[in-house]
Homo-oligomer: A and B are copies of this chain.
């Protein structure tokens, strides 16, 4: 049966691809990749497995709203699907975690195409493996967010993970006051990976692929 796969390729290290992701990439006649300004990090990460494959780049500028693009991209995928049985879309990390794929999936669904999703290793799980501290132990709660939450309500929460955090300075200041220790991890498992803990260094950094892990002390 014709199937379109949303594939999580993990945080960046090509070795953090799953065996399932690799198999489906190999089985796909056409591989769609998200691109921004003519570059596709997803394609770069799996480049070792793309020999002889037809790749179609879909333009989704990172960090921007792309409603029109999702509709257009779904149309292109639907047209391609007339002639083939298996295709996939690659997504950094996990396909259902703050990803472009979610919006694309909703549009593809409207065409009645069968979609399967292959989960991937998230950037934050990889980040914890780098700082070598637990994401959670027994009786702990973790909040994952991409917005400036009301920090008065975090009394029960042991760790907070900020993905794509905009207002880093304010977040870090408030969490420090509340007794949290902050780790800033950029480009986790990619070239240029850095773990920053100095507040000024964190404020200065402007990498899009960065997250903050705040741990109650």
A38 to B141, CA, bound (A): 31
Given contacts A141-B147, A143-B142, A143-B143, contact A125 B136 (CB under 8 A): no
How far is A150 from B153 in the complex, measured between Cα atoms in Å? 11
Which listed segment binds B: A11-19, A77-85, A174-182, A203-211?
A11-19
Q: Complex: how many Å from CA A142 to CA B102?
A: 16
Chain B, residue nearest A133 (CB)? B96
Q: Which of B119, B126, B150 contacts A156 (CB 8 A)?
A: B150
A69 at the interface (CB under 8 A from B): no
> A110 near B: Cβ within 8 Å?
no
Total interface residues in chain A, CB < 8 Å: 54
Number of identical protomers = 2
Nearest Cβ distance between residue A188 and chain B, in whole angstroms?
A: 10
Complex CA–CA separation, A141 to B143 (angstroms): 7
CB–CB A145/B140 < 8 A: yes
Q: Is A190 an interface residue when CB atoms closer than 8 A count as contact? A: no
Contact with B along A137-154 (1 / 0, CB 8 A): 111111111110110010
- Distance (Å) between the CB of A215 and the closest chain B CB? 12
Q: Which residues of B contact A118 (CB under 8 A)?
A: 129
- A140 CA / B99 CA spacing, docked (Å): 12
Q: Which residues of B contact A155 (CB under 8 A)?
A: 153
A15 to B144, CA, bound (A): 27
Contact of A94 among B22, B125, B141, B157 (CB under 8 A): B125
The reply to whether A119 and B115 form a contact with Cβ atoms under 8 Å apart is no
B146 near A140 with CB under 8 A, answer yes
A132 at the interface (CB under 8 A from B): yes
13 contacts between A and B (CB under 8 A): A14-B19, A17-B18, A18-B18, A94-B125, A97-B125, A102-B134, A117-B128, A122-B125, A136-B146, A139-B146, A142-B144, A143-B143, A143-B157
